[in-house]
């Protein structure tokens, strides 16, 4: 009402030179006021929109069949464990999914009222590596943000991993800073590519067809193309880079205390909910295996055996299982033919218990 009275009073006056200047100043003040008001309204609307969509997306429940066997882990189980060959199983593994995210996957599913009968968590010699925590961080947060709680960010902070990216993400998730609303809308509308479940944090089995190139000497004997030799060199370069990243990073080959802490939490969740937990070390190529530091192998195996003794889990180590090159996609992943063989082996092992 005061603004309207102000406008009527000044509009009724004759427009002299001084009055014209005063009116221009008043108009500028009024326009600035409207601009600030508009910005405040826009920010309030965005905060409310972010709050509403994010809360709704986080509340969406996942429903699974009874007595299901869950397969969780990174790219190794994603292409090695075919649910078609493991009775009553579902594979929710995703590329670069570390043990921390597997824990939150399981927690979300249990919180939604699901009661899986067994959980297969792939546990390789790189599963405890510190490298896993910050690997492809932006993509990982976009993928799993709906199931991560405040404790996740608190533990990252206490263990020295919290950086600017994580701090902003915390503000987006729990203070509803209006960023990433387009991603929230995609999740709201279930617009997904390669996520048949409709949930971005749940993966699925991946069928990989190709296999490792023949040994270099055999390639030469058969007179194969330069492309075959290039593919082999590319595979071997990938192997060396992968070994360096996971076992010879700035923190050396020591396992991450934070990942070990989350693996213990996962084992406790399974115990508390009467779920049988299997840690499975998938087959790896001999060329890969011989480059892994001996200390890493012993520390990883020892920790699994400690969990087995304390929490009653089962550790099945198939890293030495002999498979020909034709069953490998690369040096640490099986292809589709390899998954058929290995999945039947795992099915026999877990169904006998």
Number of domains into which the chain is organized? 1
What is the secondary structure of 209-245 as a DSSP string?
A: ---PPPPHHHHHHHT--HHHHHHHHHHHHHHHHHHHH
Judged by DSSP in three states, 314 sits in: strand
pLDDT tens readout for residues 148-194 = 999 999 999 888 887 888 899 999 999 998 888 888 887 887 754 44
With respect to residue 80, please indicate whether it lies within any of the assigned structural domains.
Answer: yes
With respect to residue 53, please indicate whether it lies within any of the assigned structural domains.
Answer: no
With respect to residue 51, please indicate whether it lies within any of the assigned structural domains.
Answer: no
Kindly state the average pLDDT of the residues 88-96: 93
With respect to residue 240, please indicate whether it lies within any of the assigned structural domains.
Answer: yes
57: closest CA among 217, 183, 236, 246?
Answer: 183
Q: What is the CATH number of the domain that holds 87?
A: 3.40.50.1110
Distance, first Cα to last Cα, the chain: 78
With respect to residue 21, please indicate whether it lies within any of the assigned structural domains.
Answer: no
With respect to residue 71, please indicate whether it lies within any of the assigned structural domains.
Answer: yes
pLDDT confidence of residue 112 = 94
pLDDT tens readout for residues 47-65 = 898 899 889 989 988 999 9
Rounded to two decimals, the pTM is 0.83
What range defines the domain where residue 222 resides?
Answer: 60-351
With respect to residue 24, please indicate whether it lies within any of the assigned structural domains.
Answer: no
With respect to residue 165, please indicate whether it lies within any of the assigned structural domains.
Answer: yes
């Amino acid at each position: 009402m005061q603004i309207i009275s102000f406008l009527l009073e000044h509009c009724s006056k004759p427009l002299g030179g001084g009055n014209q200047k005063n009116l221009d100043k008043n108009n500028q003040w009024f326009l600035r006021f409207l601009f600030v008001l508009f910005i405040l309204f826009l920010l309030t609307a965005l905060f409310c929109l972010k709050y509403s969509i994010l809360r709704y997306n986080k509340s969406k429940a996942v429903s699974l069949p009874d007595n299901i066997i869950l397969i969780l882990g990174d790219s190794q189980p994603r292409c090695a464990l075919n649910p078609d060959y493991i009775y009553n199983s579902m594979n929710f593994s995703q590329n670069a999914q570390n043990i921390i995210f597997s824990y939150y996957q399981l927690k979300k599913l249990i919180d939604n009222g699901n009661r899986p009968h067994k959980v297969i968590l792939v546990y390789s010699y790189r599963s405890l590596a510190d490298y896993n925590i910050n690997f492809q961080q932006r993509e990982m947060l976009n993928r799993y943000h709906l199931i991560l709680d405040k404790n996740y960010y608190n533990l990252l902070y206490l263990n020295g991993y919290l950086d600017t990216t994580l701090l902003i993400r915390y503000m987006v998730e729990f203070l509803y800073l209006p960023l990433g609303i387009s991603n929230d809308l995609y999740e709201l509308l279930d617009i997904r590519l390669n996520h048949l479940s409709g949930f971005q944090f749940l993966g699925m089995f991946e069928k990989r067809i190709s296999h490792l190139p023949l040994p270099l000497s055999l390639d030469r004997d058969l007179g194969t193309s330069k492309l075959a030799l290039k593919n082999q060199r590319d595979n071997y370069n990938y192997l060396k880079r992968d070994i360096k990243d996971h076992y010879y990073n700035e923190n050396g080959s020591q396992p991450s205390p934070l990942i070990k802490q989350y693996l213990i939490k996962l084992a406790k969740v399974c115990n508390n909910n009467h779920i049988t937990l299997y840690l499975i070390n998938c087959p790896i190529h001999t060329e890969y295996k011989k480059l892994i530091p001996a200390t890493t192998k012993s520390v990883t195996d020892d920790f699994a055996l400690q969990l087995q003794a304390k929490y009653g889990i089962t550790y099945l180590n198939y890293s030495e299982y002999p498979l020909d090159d034709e069953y490998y996609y690369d040096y640490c992943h099986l292809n589709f033919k390899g998954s058929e063989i290995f999945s039947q082996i795992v099915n026999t092992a877990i169904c006998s218990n």
